[in-house]
């Protein structure tokens, strides 16, 4: 995987994912907006897309038999 070029942005996005999970997308959106992250990027991050960047591997799918 290729390292992110902007570590500040990377950390903000990681934190926004946590905020989204704990407080909701509106709070995460406001947080990322405070870092002047473009709306298209915020939407992609908060959309729940399985694959965030072309260089990211797809997460493993877990199959449950409950």
pLDDT tens digit string along 4-58?
568 888 899 999 999 999 999 999 999 999 999 999 989 988 987 555 555 655 5
Exposed/middle/buried for residue 13 (C-beta within 10 Å: 0-12, 13-18, 19+): buried
3 confidence band (pLDDT: 50, 70, 90): low
Sign, Cα dihedral of 64, 53, 11, 43: negative
pLDDT at position 42 is: 93
Q: What does pTM read for this prediction?
A: 0.66
Q: What are the extents of the domains in the chain?
A: 7-46
């Amino acid at each position: 995987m290729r390292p992110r070029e902007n570590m500040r942005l990377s950390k903000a996005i990681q934190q926004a994912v946590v905020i989204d999970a704990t407080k909701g997308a509106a709070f995460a959106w406001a947080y990322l907006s405070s870092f002047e992250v473009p709306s298209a990027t915020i939407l992609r991050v908060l959309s729940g897309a399985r694959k965030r960047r072309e260089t990211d591997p797809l997460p493993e799918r877990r199959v449950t038999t409950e």
